[in-house]
Amino acid sequence: MKLWNNGYRAWGTVFKLTGFHRIPGSVGFDGAVEYLKEQLLLSGYSEEDVRVIEYPADGITTTETWIHPLGWNVLHGELVMEEPEQEFLLSTGYTPLVVILGSASCEGKFEVVDVGKGEDPTNYEGKDVKGKLVLSNGDPRKVFDLAVERYGAKGLLNHFLRNEDEQIERTGKHQPHIVNYVGLYRDREHFEKGAIGFSIPYALYTRLKKTVERSKVVVHARVEVETGGTMKVLEARFKGKNPEKLPVVVMAHLCHPSPGANDNASGSAAVLEVARILKENAFELQRSVVFLWVPEMLGSVPYFLNNHEFWYGINLDMVGEDQEKTHAKFLLVKSPWSTNGFADHFVHAALTMRIPMGRRFEVMPYSGGSDHYVLESFGVGCPFLGHWPDTYYHTNFDTSQMVDPSELGWTVNSVVDTILWTTSVDREMKPKSIALRRILSSYMKDLTEFLTVMETEEHPAVKCFIADKMKQEYEEMSKILDFPPHIKGMVESVMMKLRSEDTEVEDEYYRKTFKGPLGNKLQKLTTFEERQEMEKLFPRSTFTSNNEEILNLLDRGLGLQAVHKIYTRQFGEGVSMENLKRYVEFLESKNLLERIR
């Protein structure tokens, strides 16, 4: 197999992008967009091929169930202890992450009150926090809901390391000096409450906690921010020979704060490298390939609402990890059953043929959490390539030193292979020999799983759904591959036996009242207690990742019983029928779902 790149040019792009503080709607994000656009033009793309699409970043505009973020730039932030003794604590001179995203401008002296995690009303019993800063180690948005909105605090001094993991030394005790990337709400209504927040390292948090226990603590806080701007999406198009055919989309989210090397300068650099390779080699493709750099979810939602006609997508998010430094594993997350996941097999084959020696790699069932799930909510399969876990995820230690060029090269080569295998005009580029066997092996594994469901499932709507899915994937695979006769005969004989006639089933049927995935507007429609209750309905690992598939399946016309069976088959996790029904009825009460029969 030809080596299309070695990853070092992409690593240089990562290094460059880490210099931009890439908050959607900010000067830093705009600078990163302009840099990538310049690189595309230097690579041979024309002004006609590349465009920047702008959306409002006013914190007010709503696209379906998503409120656009308020454009936000941090200019300066510093924290100084005044009592019991004067001491400089930290500032944005160390890292811009010390000012929590969404903080307002403010300067003043504030008493500090320790509220523990700060996520439960009991944390505030007997404590006066009005006009003060709360010291907390809980989720800053949950702390904001209670401390600021309910009890009148001015803001928070917060240490919150999401996804703590002792096994990879991702804890405050193991990493006492890192600063975590966390945020408050991004809409204008919350911003105008004037709250401030500082993200503080574990070492400082524990020291302040001990100091508050024995004496009154007063700090001088200064935060300067500015708002305004637009939210930008960068799009580039490599034109294929048949514009009437559905294009392929390769995407990455361009945001996060500086440095944000692995998350997600790595994915953004890899997408640029794939675009460069296609142009430099002047490949002839049957279909166009669209390259996207977006603000995560906030930009992909409005884009895909107006542009969701794609053959398949590939999402690159955190693809450059140095596995030894970050304790990471490379993941291929497959498309959900609600979509046509034929592209998964090509990506899987490419990755396993290109895998460097000694690397950790795993194939996983669908999970959300990045922009692939936005496209998949429109029925388009979109395998996700990335790494998890990561010791330095969402911290100021996520630097280019944590990126391995060979990991970037592995990603880029695999994506180029996938595009050429599925879209090249040149038949010599089609998968042969080992590549063909690996693609078929991946496909047959899924086919076997679906056949098992067909043989063991009695619910007629589930059998109908699986039969249709198998047929659709086979049809797409047949457009690309010349199946060996024995496999072709076997698969076609199975397909002839499948029955996918519509079957009337006694069930409860719902459909979404909105398009795309369920978004951040839900927070405005619910109380703090309601949100806490909804979290309890799902296993901790699936609440923010897999429950979107419930809505996808409902939108496919399936009833609740069938959705529950398919969900359980797909993820093998216990979401009870009772909890599923409560979740659906809750969304119906908020006018997000409507019962149709």
Would you state the pLDDT for residue 496? Answer: 77
SS3 374: helix
Buried b (16+ CB within 10 A) or exposed e, 174-197: ebeebbbbbbbbbbbebbeeebbb
* Helical ranges in 391-509 per DSSP H: 405-423, 433-456, 460-480, 485-497
Sign of the C-alpha dihedral computed for residues 417, 421, 424 and 425 taken in this order: positive
CA distances from 563 to 191, 514, 580 (A): 39, 19, 9
Decide if 97 contacts 178 (C-beta within 8 A): no
Sheet with 248-253, edge to edge strand ranges: 50-56, 230-238, 289-294, 248-253, 312-317, 384-387, 330-333, 361-364
Distance CA 270, CA 9 (A): 10
**Residue 487: its pLDDT value, please?**
80
How many angstroms separate the Cα of 394 from the Cα of each of 1, 16, 160, 248? 35, 18, 11, 30
Q: What is the pLDDT of residue 483?
A: 84
CB 191 within 8 A of CB 97: no
Cis peptide before 431 (omega within 30 of 0): no
pLDDT along the chain (597 residues), means of 10: 93 98 97 98 98 98 97 98 97 97 98 98 98 98 97 98 95 97 97 98 98 98 96 98 97 97 98 98 97 98 96 98 98 97 98 97 94 97 97 98 98 98 94 93 94 90 92 93 83 72 78 96 93 82 69 95 95 86 96 95
CATH class of domain segment(s) 72-227: alpha beta
Specify whether the CB–CB gap between 102 and 184 falls below 8 A.
Answer: yes
Query: What CA–CA distance (Å, rounded) separates 494 from 552?
Result: 27
Rounded to whole angstroms, the Cα distance separating 133 from 115 reads: 10
- pTM metric for this prediction: 0.97
pLDDT at 273: 98
- Return the pLDDT at 65: 97
For the segment(s) 8-68+230-423, the CATH number from 3.40.720.10, 2.40.70.10, 3.30.260.10, 3.40.630.10 is 3.40.630.10
Cβ(381)–Cβ(244) under 8 Å?
no
Reference 117, options 149, 82, 159; nearest CA is: 159
User: Among candidates 265, 208, 228, which has minimal Cα distance to 79?
Assistant: 208
Given a contact cutoff of 8 angstroms between Cβ atoms, the answer to whether 77 and 186 are in contact is: no
Residues 6+ apart with CB under 8 A from 427: none
Measured between alpha carbons, how far apart are the two ends of the chain, in Å? Answer: 54
Structure tokens at 84: 């019991």
So what's the pLDDT on residue 517? 96
Residue 49, helix vs strand vs coil: coil
What pLDDT shows up at residue 543?
A: 33
Q: How far apart are CA 563 and CA 548, in angstroms?
A: 12
| pLDDT at site 542 | 41
Q: How far is CA 121 from CA 143, 288, 571, in A?
A: 10, 54, 34
pLDDT of residue 89: 98
Domain ranges of the chain: 8-68+230-423, 72-227, 432-497, 510-595
Closest CA relative to residue 471, chosen from 452, 447, 489: 447
**pLDDT computed for residue 499 by the predictor:** 60
